[in-house]
Amino acid sequence: MSESRPQVGTILKFEFGYAIIWLMAATVRLMRLGKKGHATYRIVVIDKRKPRNSSYIEAIGTYDPHLTKTPAIQIKKEKLAYWQGKGAELSDGFAKLLKGKKRINFV
């Protein structure tokens, strides 16, 4: 008999008390848009097991590396904080982008 993984929200009973399983399989990453040679990106919350450009949970911002005068990155700050509070991880590329860019506009 094989044991299955507990579902999200399952209450487990232990000798010392109860525990609720909360697993978040979401990540904040860049979704590539635009034509060849002129890429733009949508910042999305997506299930980490899905491919880059598949359906996403929520779009929380945009990034256009070709803009020079206006902010290149626009992010909904409260949405980013909400998803990070839920346990969503930042992808490596998005984390580098936040760390290195000065032209960020939090909406």
Over residues 10-31, mean pLDDT: 70
Is the pLDDT assigned to residue 22 strictly greater than 60? no
Tell me the pLDDT tens digit for each residue of 68-99: 777 788 999 999 998 888 888 899 989 988 88
CB 81 within 8 A of CB 98: no
Q: What is the pLDDT of residue 40?
A: 92
Q: 3-12 in b/e burial notation, b at 16+ Cβ within 10 A?
A: eeeeeeeeee
Beginning with the edge strand found earlier in the chain, give each strand of the sheet holding 104-106 in spatial order: 89-90, 26-35, 38-47, 58-63, 73-75, 104-106
Q: What is the pLDDT of residue 47?
A: 87
DSSP-derived secondary structure for 37-76: TEEEEEEEEEETTS-TTS--SEEEEEE-TT-SSS-SEEE-
